[in-house]
Structure 1
Amino acid sequence: MFDLDFARSQFPAFSAPALKGWGFFENAGGSYACARTIAALNDVYTQMKVQPYHAHPAARRLGERMDESRVLWAGALGLEPDEVHFGPSTSQNAYVLERAFADLIGPGDEIVVTNQDHEANSGAWRRLAEARGAKLKEWRVEPQSGRLLLEHLAELLSPRVKLVTAPHCSNILGRENPVAEIVRLAHEAGALAVIDGVSWAPHAIPDVGALGADVYLFSLYKVFGVHQGLMAVRRPLFERLPNQGHFFNAGLNAKRLVPAGPDHAQVAAAGAVVDYIDDLAARHALRADSPRARAAGVSALWRAHETALLAPLLDWLARHPRARVLGSTEADARRAPTISLATERAPAELAAELAKRSIMAGAGHFYAYRLLEALGLDPERGVLRLSFVHYTSPAEVDSLMKALDAVL
């Protein structure tokens, strides 16, 4: 059984006076940072806030910490360390990748995007198609459920498709997409696969190596860490991409896809989340002799706890007369605890009313503008989004339902 008390004890936010009594339900926009992350950042800023990799001890320690973050995340994701890259955010990382992909795409080529994505993993590739004279194909959601159907992707594929992009999970619908099958279909057609994992990684650390995606992106600040985006770029593709950094850094893998240069302190602290995962594995006596196995074991604990909290909430919302849950109302292993509601009252008003009842929630389109249009909703009006993660308690969910009932 998941030790919720232990997990919550690892997050200083739960003992902060300013946050006492508040229920946090906008985790999809950014999670609390774990104590390991905060301590690692404090250590860097107080002990080694210098330029890394020079000869003096502080610089050596900082460089070692930065290298260790890549090793730690590579182990958790089933990758090699040189396949892990850190950048300012997933949106910025996608933009840089788009620039790097320009040499691989040309007139007559085709790019497949979805209308389910966060705009970061849609807009970049749409711009690339326009700039390079390539044909853009849109893999559209089923308008009632919002699902992406594999048979529709198969219809779009051809020998001219060079790139397929898709989300691992919608940041509005909370439903996991069959990424391994998406990647397989793309590769069988001779295309590369770019997967946005921002909305899934906080709930289950992905086995990127097993999924087979050529690029996998997610945001560390939504996975209990620093404000950085992590790019997993598989080695065969990375070797084809031109340098996007300073010309004299072309031989340094860690800098080739980070034009502005890395944020030394945040990169050094990025691996602390993996330490937290290992702490959870030890607390639960998980028999796992590899970083990837520990990440998988802890992810299973997270998912079981989240699903147990999600089931009664979804069931209650499905029966509520003044709110409509977008997407699936079934709580299972493929349903993340990210719930978006179409409501009679304006979502922004509801979020403000919830705040008066000590519930933190969000309202808007959450950069999924095209998805809301496809579902027949006004993106400018948006939706009310409620999202939680493994550190959320049953009592907080109960408080959420009581507050929702009052404001809806």
Structure 2
Amino acid sequence: MSQLDIDWVRAQFPAFSQPSLQGQAFFENAGGSYTCQQVIDRLFRFYTERKVQPYAPYEPSRLGGEEMDEARTRLAAMLGVETDELSFGPSTTQNTYVLAQAFRQYLDEGDAIVVTNQDHEANSGPWRRLANEGIEVREWQIDPETGHLDPAALTPLMADGKVRLVCFPHCSNVVGEVNDVAAICAQAKAAGAYTCVDGVSYAPHGFEDVGALGADIYLFSAYKTYGPHQGIMVIRRALGEVLPNQGHYFNEGSLYKRFTPAGPDHAQVAASAGMADYMEALSAHHGGPASGAGAARFAHDLMREQEVSLLEPLLAYLSSKNSLRLIGSDSPTGRAPTVAVSLDRPGEAVAADLAPHGIMAGGGDFYAVRPLGAMGVNLDKGVLRLSFTHYTHHGEIQQLIGALDKVL
């Protein structure tokens, strides 16, 4: 594996060349990433050349529809699933809500589902509301000290055979630990349950082979993976065809339309192919495969290797400070570069103090009220969150550490 060419990478993102952002280090990537040039170019082209209802026989409409289909085809291939198993929606939160409504109609009274208290509320709240419909909701709880989600604690929750669905995150947006999705999905399947995996906090760090993971549903947000503000949803065929249709009745025969009640944002769907463009270019530039799933896996490994090298000095620095509590593991492997710390004052106030030092970070609860509360974090203060991706420079990590020294 070649070392990441950080200058080439940053050249793919227009934000890094903007005069207003010079000297500013971006550490709130978990809230939304910079957008790559490939996505911007496709979005601009659609709005200037294709801004029409797609799939009609005239040229601009035909090309617009082809670009939308291209996005679905290429992203599905990168994720290791069939083209029609991938859907777009306005956001992951909305997609989860639609899925919960489908399960509300599908499940019988007395059936049970499992949710965790490690989740962002978007992959917890809609499922928990099913308790109002006679569905039993069981909570798979984290370790209150470490935030770890122990698979052994899932076993007794499924012992009676009533659990039909297990909902859990690929990784938490505050704990950062990467859960063993493949093992958990196999565990749930053996107990007769489907799985819904929230990949929002993991996908920015590389596209996984969802087919190999074994998840029945996998969700993430394109605006956190260098693309437009769309929710991307994989629903495997065996589940998607038995859940009640949530789209127009005349679209129920189309798997990717069954869980999209409203018409998609044509331009943003088409622009999402730019994410595939970027992953393939990243792989090819570094000597990897030039297309498809192979490019996605190669790019994933490149990105993760860079992120681990960036995490090492930051975690070492934070672990040395008695004035804060590092949420999650202090090991750079096995976690995403989403680093939350609890302090003696509000995280939002510390983020404001960091801003004059050129550090763009966030503070608060980040809709992770349940995990933070379970870990004993004062929710009035929340946490300071420092999140980055592969395009972050080692010099920016040193800039962050220097700023923290001054502020803390």
- Letter matched to residue 329 of structure 1: D
Partner in structure 2 of residue 327 of structure 1: 328
Structure 2 runs not aligned, ≥5 long: none
- 1:188 aligned onto 2:174: no
Aligned-residue RMSD, C-alpha: 1.0
Structure 1 position 108, deviation (Å): 1.1
Post-superposition Cα deviations, 1:60-112, rounded to whole Å, max 9, x if no partner, equal 00000010101110111001100000000100000000111122212111110
Partner in structure 2 of residue 15 of structure 1: 17
- Letter matched to residue 240 of structure 2: F
- 1:146 aligned onto 2:140: no
Higher mean alpha-carbon deviation, 150-159 vs 226-235, is at: 150-159
Partners of 1:189 and 1:256 lie apart in 2 by 27
Structure 1 position 369, deviation (Å): 0.5
1:231-310 map, 5 Å: 231-286=233-288, 288=289, 291-310=292-311
**What is the aligned counterpart of 1:214 among 213, 216, 219?**
216
- Letter matched to residue 379 of structure 1: L
Post-superposition Cα deviations, 1:93-140, rounded to whole Å, max 9, x if no partner, equal 000001111222121111100000000110111012322x01111000
Structure 1 runs not aligned, ≥5 long: none
- Give the SS at the match of 2:232: strand
Post-superposition Cα deviations, 1:132-184, rounded to whole Å, max 9, x if no partner, equal x0111100001111101011001111311011010000100111001111101
- Give the SS at the match of 2:263: coil
When the two structures are superposed, what TM-score results if normalisation uses the length of structure 2? Answer: 0.97
1:70-89 map, 5 Å: 70-89=72-91
Partners of 1:210 and 1:50 lie apart in 2 by 37
Post-superposition Cα deviations, 1:206-261, rounded to whole Å, max 9, x if no partner, equal 11000010000001100000100100000111111222122233233333211121
Partner in structure 2 of residue 362 of structure 1: 362
Structure 1 position 32, deviation (Å): 0.1
Partner in structure 1 of residue 135 of structure 2: 134
Partner in structure 2 of residue 168 of structure 1: 170
Post-superposition Cα deviations, 1:4-63, rounded to whole Å, max 9, x if no partner, equal 110000000000112111000000000000000100100000000100001110000000
- Give the SS at the match of 2:124: helix
Partner in structure 1 of residue 407 of structure 2: 407
Does structure 2 retain, via aligned residues, the 8 Å contact 1:339–1:387?
yes
Partners of 1:199 and 1:384 lie apart in 2 by 16
Higher mean alpha-carbon deviation, 24-33 vs 178-187, is at: 178-187
- Letter matched to residue 365 of structure 2: H
Structure 1 position 380, deviation (Å): 3.2
Higher mean alpha-carbon deviation, 312-321 vs 240-249, is at: 240-249
Does structure 2 retain, via aligned residues, the 8 Å contact 1:255–1:261?
no
- Letter matched to residue 45 of structure 2: D
Does structure 2 retain, via aligned residues, the 8 Å contact 1:33–1:224?
yes
- 1:60 aligned onto 2:75: no
- Letter matched to residue 156 of structure 1: L
Using the aligned pairs only, state the percent identity.
Answer: 52
Partners of 2:372 and 2:67 lie apart in 1 by 42
